[in-house]
Amino acid sequence: MSMNPSPAMTGHGFNWRTFVGQNDAYLALIVLIVIGGLISPEFLTTLNLKNLLSQSAVLGILAAAQFMVILIAGFDLSVAAVMALSSVVFAQFAPIGLAPAAVLAVLSGLGCGAITGAFVTLGRVQPLIATLAMLGIARGFAFTVSEKSLLVDSPLVVAMSKSWGIISVPMVIWLVIAALLSVFLYRSRFGLHCLAIGGREQTAALAGVPVQRTKFLVYVAAGGLSALAGIVLVIRTQSGVPHVGNGWELASIAAVVLGGTALFGGEGQLPKAMAGVLIYQTIANLMNQVGLNPYYQDIVRAIIILAVVGVGIFRVRQSERRVNRAEIGETE
Amino acid sequence: MTDATVTPSIMNPRPMLRKFGLPALLLGFVLLATLLSGGKFIQPDNLSVILFQSSIVGVLVIGITFVMLTGGIDLSIVGIMVLSAILMGAAGSERQQMMLLNDIVPYVGPFWALVMALVVAALLGFLNGVISIRFGIPSFIVTLAMGLMLAGVALMVTGGSPIYYPPDFYEVFGETRIFGIVAPVYAFLGLAVLCWWVLKSTRFGVSIYALGGNPHASQLSGIPVVRYQILAFTICGLVAGIAGGLFLSRTGFVAPSSGGDLLLGTIAAVVVGGVSLSGGKGSIVGAVVGVLFLSSLSNLMNILLISPHIQDAISGFFILGAITLSNRLES
């Protein structure tokens, strides 16, 4: 969503450094896929790619929610819990009818988002703690709706679990959501307001951006998106699971940062963040392909998250240094 | 978030509310709880159960208070607690050794197992501090990742099976009663007094408030900011290790998945106890009162047969409400 025309295209000649800098997430993904194909013969099979993409769909929608919140310089630790709540609500009411069940599931997510948003804006609770509290609330409600996983055997849901080559329903839903949201954030005044708030809240307020309202709406939207992820999860696995997604809040942050979004807001592109999701899931998939013990996988994942965020911070510092230098008037 | 009122005046109700709000709330709650439970709540037996239940969260709260005073947070505190309890059990008991599915942890005897577990806990806290402070990565991300990693390590160490046979020492400790109250409660209260004294009377303790309030000014006034911040994380880790010992003496059992519900309760207690998330404000006394309050609340809900899942949701709302209220009182 950077608003500048791409410098790689303007001016005379083609600048490799700028091109790589702008497309780093996509290039990293391509390199990773090539490596995957080389080290594991199973990696590039249709079945594995289909699984990889449909797994990415759930995390991808969560990451889209996380992306919006990080863009306004917040964090949302409740995305995975809200997803779990929505999945059990959907599964619980599916026997009545899929449409009302989906509406209730999305409403539960929007409700959670509205509560978080209200406490962040009106109560001035730090986003981190407000969403941590919402994590507890949503999980508590999820387990209250159902202590155990709920099977959904509605014929329509079963039909939707089919796939065509590498294309699956979750993947299509994910791509449609990501595409619509990208266009919306890129084109709308709302998207511009989000960037401004993430850049510097006081400045945005002085410039007339409705800061509190925008922030509230972002948390509501994040709740709604997390709920959609819950529905997609049910389509993928045919069950609503109250304990699903432990640790996915961190995975969503890591994926968004992998996709080049600034950790403290104000800068980022949703399509790149989605590429970050694919990178994260490809690494996870490859760890399975090479048969790494699942206990070690958690450890590797934690190290990846720390490394990714660490590099993200390093980048922020560097760009700050560049800005400082520019302000002083020093030339590079 | 600076404290504007240095001298509380009687005319202004806000400082009074801030100072006496929580004790007054606690008193009102005790009266209400006694009424609702038909007198069950106030029975001495029940009160001693509340104290016993408070001891584990209480110790965790003491640890996390150090980190939060510096403006950080430790979300790996329960992970450290569980891992150190596992080490105490796995390396300290011969019977447990035979049950383990792998031999990553050797048998070293109960005492050295305890020492090893506490050293590991302190080292993990130190690692949290170094990564977060030295590399400037927000502490919540470092400690969340640490928690994720420790869950993996706990599974690796035990091969996935729980620790059923910790050394007898822990059971004996958990059942020893002095004046009708079990020993872990004294451990918790003793630690609280010690840490209260550290924060009140040592150079480190006083500096921690200063650097939490304004790290830059503290740096300029000669406080070794980085060293003290890392020390706070280390203390938090060590204290989480101690909580691991109390956990074993209360349950006699620990699994890699144990303690999942403790993190939210710990944060809720600290926040209800008036420790500020942005650092520099709060006290051990407040945090301990927060723990006692929330333990009493959860005890009452247990008496009233409210499901533990609803209790989790209620803790969440308590965190939100408490911070909103304290923000309102400040401004």
Q: Do B192 and B66 meet the contact criterion of CB atoms below 8 Å apart?
A: no
Q: Give CA–CA dist A78/A83, Å, rounded.
A: 8
Q: Which residues of B touch A144 (CB under 8 A)?
A: 307, 309-310, 313
CA distances from residue B70 to A224, B214, B229, B231, B279 in whole angstroms, order as listed = 35, 9, 6, 10, 5
Residue type, B276: S
B152/A296 touch (CB, cutoff 8 Å), yes or no: yes
Nearest by Cα to B271 from A125, A140, A139: A125
Structure confidence by residue, pLDDT tens digits, A101-119: 999 999 999 999 999 999 9
Q: What is the pLDDT averaged over residues A28-53?
A: 87
Structure confidence by residue, pLDDT tens digits, A177-235: 999 999 999 999 999 999 899 888 888 988 888 999 999 999 999 999 999 999 999 99
H-only helix segments in B37-167: 44-69, 77-92, 94-99, 110-129, 139-158
Domain that residue B293 falls in: 51-326
B190 in any annotated domain: yes
Q: Provide the 10 A C-beta neighbour count for residue A161.
A: 15
Q: Give CA–CA dist A135/B313, Å, rounded.
A: 9
CA distances from residue B94 to A139, B91, B106, B254 in whole angstroms, order as listed = 39, 8, 10, 16
Confidence of residue B16 (pLDDT cuts 50, 70, 90): low
Quote the DSSP letter at residue A266: S
Nearest CB among A126, A136, A249 relative to B264 is that of A136
Please state, rounded to an integer, the average pLDDT across all residues of chain B.
83
**B38 in the Ramachandran plot: left (φ > 0), alpha (ψ -120 to 50) or beta?**
left
Nearest CB among B149, B313, B319 relative to A129 is that of B319
Domain count, chain B: 1
At residue B310, φ and ψ (nearest 5 deg) are -65, -35
The per-residue pLDDT for B3 is: 46
Confidence of residue A329 (pLDDT cuts 50, 70, 90): low
Q: Provide the 10 A C-beta neighbour count for residue B210.
A: 17
Quote the DSSP letter at residue B107: P
Name the more confident of A162 and B130: B130
Q: Give CA–CA dist B268/B229, Å, rounded.
A: 23
B320/A310 touch (CB, cutoff 8 Å), yes or no: no
The per-residue pLDDT for A163 is: 80
**Percentage of chain A lying above the pLDDT 70 cut:** 94
Residue with tokens 């399509």: A271
Please state, rounded to an integer, the average pLDDT across all residues of chain A.
86
Element (H, E) at A150: strand A150-151
Residue spans of the domains in chain A: they are: 37-286
Nearest CA in chain B to A296: B152
CA distances from residue A288 to A43, A195, A291, B159, B235 in whole angstroms, order as listed = 10, 37, 5, 19, 37
B36 in any annotated domain: no
Tokens of B80: 């450290």
Confidence of residue B101 (pLDDT cuts 50, 70, 90): low
Q: Give CA–CA dist A244/A22, Å, rounded.
A: 35
Quote the DSSP letter at residue A260: T
Confidence of residue A332 (pLDDT cuts 50, 70, 90): very low
Q: What angle do CA B1, B2, B8 make, to 5 degrees?
A: 125
Q: Which residues of B touch A249 (CB under 8 A)?
A: 144
Name the more confident of A328 and A160: A160
Strand ranges for chain B from DSSP E: 177-178, 181-182
| Beta pairing partners, A164 | A167
Quote the DSSP letter at residue B163: B
Confidence of residue A4 (pLDDT cuts 50, 70, 90): very low
Nearest CB among A123, A144, A293 relative to B307 is that of A144
The per-residue pLDDT for B296 is: 85
The per-residue pLDDT for B226 is: 85
Is the per-residue pLDDT at B293 higher than 50? Answer: yes
A139/B309 touch (CB, cutoff 8 Å), yes or no: yes
If you classify domain A37-286 with CATH, what class do you get? mainly alpha
Is the per-residue pLDDT at A239 higher than 70? Answer: yes
Confidence of residue A10 (pLDDT cuts 50, 70, 90): low
Q: What is the pLDDT averaged over residues B239-261?
A: 86
Q: Give CA–CA dist A278/A95, Å, rounded.
A: 34
Q: Provide the 10 A C-beta neighbour count for residue B318.
A: 22
The per-residue pLDDT for A177 is: 95
B148/A128 touch (CB, cutoff 8 Å), yes or no: no
Element (H, E) at A168: strand A167-168
Structure confidence by residue, pLDDT tens digits, B45-91: 888 888 888 899 999 999 999 999 998 889 899 999 999 999 988 88
Tokens of A300: 């590797």
A141/B277 touch (CB, cutoff 8 Å), yes or no: no
Nearest CA in chain B to A251: B145
Q: Which residues of A touch B156 (CB under 8 A)?
A: 293, 295-296, 299
Is the per-residue pLDDT at B207 higher than 80? Answer: yes
At residue B182, φ and ψ (nearest 5 deg) are -70, 155
Q: Give CA–CA dist B203/A5, Å, rounded.
A: 55
A298/B323 touch (CB, cutoff 8 Å), yes or no: no
Q: What angle do CA B282, B284, B289 make, to 5 degrees?
A: 95
Contacting residues for A58 by C-beta, under 8 A, at least 6 apart: A83, A170, A174, A229, A232, A233, A236
Counting Cβ atoms within 10 Å, is residue B165 exposed (0-12), middle (13-18) or buried (19+)? middle
Interface contacts (A, B; CB < 8 Å): 121
B134 in any annotated domain: yes
Of A92-96, A138-142, B14-18, the poorest mean pLDDT is in: B14-18
Q: Do A197 and A215 meet the contact criterion of CB atoms below 8 Å apart?
A: yes
Strand A163-164 and strand A150-151: pairing?
unpaired
Q: Give CA–CA dist B22/B290, Å, rounded.
A: 8
Q: Is A167 helix (H, G, I), strand (E, B) or coil?
A: strand
Tokens of A3: 């608003």
The per-residue pLDDT for B243 is: 93
Q: Do A226 and A78 meet the contact criterion of CB atoms below 8 Å apart?
A: yes
B309/A141 touch (CB, cutoff 8 Å), yes or no: yes
B5 in any annotated domain: no
Structure confidence by residue, pLDDT tens digits, B21-39: 667 777 888 888 888 888 7
Structure confidence by residue, pLDDT tens digits, B115-170: 989 999 999 999 999 999 888 888 888 898 898 889 888 888 887 778 877 787 78
